[in-house]
Structure 1
Amino acid sequence: MTIEPPVPGEPRRPFGPRDPGDAWVVAPSGERYWGRFGAAGLLAYDPARGVLLQHRVAWSHHGDTWGLPGGARHEGESACDGALREAQEEAGVPDAAIRPRLLSILDLGYWTYTTLVGDVVTPFEPTISDPESRELAWVPADAVAARALHPGFADSWDRLRALLSVRPAVVVDVANVVGAVPDGWWRDRAAAATRLLGRMSGLVASGIPASALDLPEDVWFPEWTAVVEGEGRGAEEVSGIGMVRAAASGDDAIVAEAARIVAEGRVVTVVTSDRALATRATDAGADVRGARWLLDLF
């Protein structure tokens, strides 16, 4: 690949049209940060192999250090999309190989850097696919700090590492949430459940504020499970949302699902305004939020 003649202090880029985001932002104090619309990187985590790190070439900004695949965001591009695109361009991360877990945002007011922590759901071998990488490697979490790390990544690593074991899940009592809005749901319970799942799919894509789950950092992508019962069992499947079609008691199915996930050592939130069910879910180790909590997220 042909490389542009280097501009002093600026990453080299291939010949061809630049994206408007490929530019420096200059801080009031004079420091420069790459990415007119901010930057984003991917912390891909595979429990069996560790964290995917990129050994940056010497001529890059903070060259010859180890960090995350990432770079400048495009105009109008979400941080999540930007991190995944950059990881694909720089490390050959395949489509759909990563499930987003959380976004950690460094906001300086005039520039942002967003780290997407994502779980590897389809194992892959990274490939050097642009000239900015000297080496790519899966590094066990315990060994990351021993590398010569990019300063920005070094500053955030301890905090992010502590979150690698946090995998939140939300279990939704669909019948209860649907019943909280008098929109005629009783005329077709399956259709009403499908409508709710469709609205929930937006949260699957965008994530929800950390404050909604009493978790640190900024945005989380919990695993969602919808429990449907009775006539609502005819609800349509929605991508990204697990479905439990309760054969008998929906409450029993919700408690069982919550207990199963809690047993995995995970943070579980059950969404229901049913007081008796809330007590049972709490006894199973889950946190409980009322139906309005979910509706206010839409």
Structure 2
Amino acid sequence: MPDATPPGPPPGPRDPGDAWAVGPDGTKAWGIFGAAGLLVDDGSGRVLLQHRVEWSHHGGTWGIPGGARHQGEDAVTGALRESAEEAGVPLDGVALRHTSVLDLGFWTYTTVVGRASRPFEPVITDRESLELAWVPVGEVDDLPLHPGFGASWPALRARIATTPHVVVDAANVVGSVPDGWWKDRAGAASRLLSSVGALAAVGVAADLLELPFDRWWPRWSVVLEGEARDADGTGAGIGVVGDRAARHGAASVSVARASGSGDDAIVEAARAAVDAGDGPVVVVTADRELRGRIEEFGAVSRGPAWLRDQF
């Protein structure tokens, strides 16, 4: 969204990022370190939009809350900070879904897409909004949209309900590396949970899920069986992983401790995800029979290296 007009003077010192980035052809875009905005839906078919004040560039149009990233600030943090500052979006009230990056070479704009993890009402907290509203997805195109948001909206809308889900066959993944896991199956499973939890915080590259855009934050289910059921999930994503996950609303990791067949529990978890409308549903296993079972109802399989290579 180049040539954006900067906000009015802040009450305190400006961040170094609050300045113009200038391209080789003289094109200007606000944010030395790039910019980011938040597109959040409420889970009921509405998205939060901002009616921009008239004095801003493309004033009077509708877009998403956002602005220049601060020095050293990642795009997700920047988008959530800006949406909190401009629209009162609670930092702990958004579950991340994916990011989409517009890269002009000298400047980037990252659209961070999330879903409200709990109900909240937006509040105008600065001078940059005429109004804030939850707008039904089907009515967004009826509004005068900011050109940058309008250009990206069709692709964003097409994936507004996409929810990838990864089901992990813990026994198969742990057993794929001869690191002595058989001496302490619960400990090996605990280490796997910790690694999965860390990955849940940072997201998965879109191409690994065969999805568009940049990164996705899937739902995660890890199935434990046998002695591995005693694994400690504390701090491993069961709820939240670390400060970054808590701040960014990263997906938590659901753990299923199979009382019987681990394969049956994996099939059950994958089928439940498909039935819930999640997709793609990826089952991480090298077990050929299990792969055949989950592919019968539309899930896809990936080998343990697919997961381990991301740790």
* TM-score relative to the length of structure 2: 0.91
Within the candidate set 41, 46, 51, 1:45 is matched to 41
What amino acid is aligned across from residue 292 of structure 1 in structure 2?
A
Q: What does residue 229 of structure 2 align with?
A: 233
Q: Distance in 1 between matches of 2:102 and 2:125?
A: 27
CA contact (8 A) 2:81 2:91 kept: no
Is it true that 1:215 corresponds to 2:211 in the alignment? yes
Using the TM superposition, give the Cα deviation of residue 49 of structure 1 relative to its aligned residue in structure 2, in angstroms: 5.3
Moved more, 151-160 or 88-97: 88-97
Within the candidate set 8, 16, 29, 1:12 is matched to 8
Q: SS in structure 2 opposite 1:243?
A: strand
Q: Distance in 2 between matches of 1:288 and 1:139?
A: 37
Q: Distance in 1 between matches of 2:69 and 2:193?
A: 30
Q: Distance in 1 between matches of 2:45 and 2:167?
A: 29
Q: Distance in 1 between matches of 2:51 and 2:226?
A: 55
Matches within 5 A, 1:1-298: 10-48=6-44, 50-237=46-233, 238-239=236-237, 240-267=252-279, 268-298=281-311
Q: SS in structure 2 opposite 1:94?
A: coil
Q: Distance in 1 between matches of 2:151 and 2:273?
A: 32
Q: Distance in 2 between matches of 1:67 and 1:231?
A: 52
CA contact (8 A) 2:47 2:134 kept: yes
Q: What percent of counterpart residues are identical?
A: 57
Q: Distance in 2 between matches of 1:246 and 1:47?
A: 30
CA contact (8 A) 1:12 1:60 kept: no
What amino acid is aligned across from residue 274 of structure 1 in structure 2?
D
CA contact (8 A) 1:41 1:68 kept: yes
Q: Distance in 2 between matches of 1:46 and 1:66?
A: 18
Using the TM superposition, give the Cα deviation of residue 201 of structure 1 relative to its aligned residue in structure 2, in angstroms: 1.7
Using the TM superposition, give the Cα deviation of residue 62 of structure 1 relative to its aligned residue in structure 2, in angstroms: 2.1
What amino acid is aligned across from residue 204 of structure 1 in structure 2?
A
Q: Distance in 2 between matches of 1:270 and 1:232?
A: 18
Using the TM superposition, give the Cα deviation of residue 20 of structure 1 relative to its aligned residue in structure 2, in angstroms: 0.9
Structure 1 residue ranges without an equivalent (≥5): 1-8
Q: Distance in 2 between matches of 1:293 and 1:201?
A: 16
What amino acid is aligned across from residue 20 of structure 2 in structure 1?
W
Structure 2 residue ranges without an equivalent (≥5): 238-251
What amino acid is aligned across from residue 258 of structure 1 in structure 2?
A
CA contact (8 A) 1:193 1:235 kept: yes
Using the TM superposition, give the Cα deviation of residue 159 of structure 1 relative to its aligned residue in structure 2, in angstroms: 0.6
Count how many residue pairs are aligned between Structure 1 and Structure 2: 291
What amino acid is aligned across from residue 283 of structure 2 in structure 1?
V
Q: Distance in 1 between matches of 2:6 and 2:69?
A: 16
Moved more, 231-240 or 203-212: 231-240
What amino acid is aligned across from residue 247 of structure 1 in structure 2?
S
* TM-score relative to the length of structure 1: 0.95
Q: Distance in 2 between matches of 1:144 and 1:173?
A: 41
Deviations for 1:89-134, whole angstroms, at most 9, x for unmatched residues?
Answer: 1110112211000000111111000011101110100001111111
What amino acid is aligned across from residue 167 of structure 2 in structure 1?
V
Q: SS in structure 2 opposite 1:297?
A: coil
Q: SS in structure 2 opposite 1:93?
A: coil
Q: Distance in 1 between matches of 2:253 and 2:90?
A: 22
Moved more, 274-283 or 248-257: 274-283
Q: Distance in 1 between matches of 2:188 and 2:67?
A: 42
Q: Distance in 2 between matches of 1:77 and 1:11?
A: 19
CA contact (8 A) 1:39 1:70 kept: yes
Q: What does residue 6 of structure 1 align with?
A: none
Q: SS in structure 2 opposite 1:139?
A: strand
What amino acid is aligned across from residue 254 of structure 1 in structure 2?
I
Q: Distance in 2 between matches of 1:63 and 1:183?
A: 60
